[in-house]
């Protein structure tokens, strides 16, 4: 004899926590315009940019010059310009943002 499963009962607390989605406000620290060093300016330009835009322009440069490692896409092979910024021939995409911190004011 088959028995029907009962539908889960939603509690009143669960109904209250489902608030309407609100738009996130950007963190002011990320939106502050930073001046790149001369080595970084050779890649992203000399104009002051927010940190998020600097990372975006770096990725555009990496993709345009085919600098992602073919075997491991998480690794970036630095060309002459990026080697000045990174200080080594290959970096992971996760340490890239940390290395850029030394090149912005």
pLDDT in tens, 17-57: 666 778 888 777 778 999 999 999 999 999 999 998 999 99
Sketch out the chain's domains with CATH numbers.
31-103 (1.10.245.10)
- Cα–Cα dist 43/63, whole Å: 12
Contacts of residue 93, defined as CB under 8 A and 6 or more positions apart, other chains included, come to 74, 75, 76
- Cα–Cα dist 27/90, whole Å: 30
Higher pLDDT, 91 or 25: 91
**Cα dist. 8→5, 18, 52, 70 in Å?**
9, 17, 43, 49
Inform me whether the pLDDT recorded for 7 exceeds 80.
no
Contacts of residue 94, defined as CB under 8 A and 6 or more positions apart, other chains included, come to 74
Q: What is the pTM of this model?
A: 0.71
């Amino acid at each position: 004899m088959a028995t029907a499963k009962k539908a889960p009962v939603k509690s009143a607390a669960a109904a209250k926590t489902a608030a309407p989605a609100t738009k996130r406000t950007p963190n002011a620290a990320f939106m502050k315009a930073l001046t790149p060093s001369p080595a970084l300016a050779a890649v992203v330009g000399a104009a002051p940019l927010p940190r998020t835009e600097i990372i975006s322009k770096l990725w555009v440069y990496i993709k345009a010059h085919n600098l992602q490692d073919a075997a491991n896409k998480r690794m970036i092979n630095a060309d002459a310009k990026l080697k000045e910024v990174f200080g080594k021939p290959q970096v992971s995409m996760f340490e890239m943002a940390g290395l850029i911190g030394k090149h912005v004011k």
